[in-house]
Homo-oligomer: A and B are copies of this chain.
Amino acid sequence: MQPADPLYAQRLRDSFERQAVMKTLGAELASVQPGKVCITMWHRPELTQQHGFLHAGIVSTALDSACGYAAYSLMPEEAAVLTIEFKVNLLSPARGPWFCCEAEVLKPGRTISVVEGRVWGAAAPDDQANRKLVASMSATVMTVLGRDGLKY
Contact = CB atoms under 8 A, between A and B. Distances in A.
Q: Can you tell how many copies of this chain the complex includes?
A: 4
Residues of A in contact with B, size category? 35 or more
B48 A19 contact: yes
Main secondary structure of the interface of A (DSSP, over half): mixed
Contact of A50 (B19, B23, B85): B19
A49 B65 CA distance: 9
A15 B50 contact: yes
Nearest to A136: B106
11 contacts: A15-B50, A51-B80, A56-B61, A57-B57, A57-B62, A57-B65, A58-B61, A82-B90, A83-B90, A91-B114, A111-B142
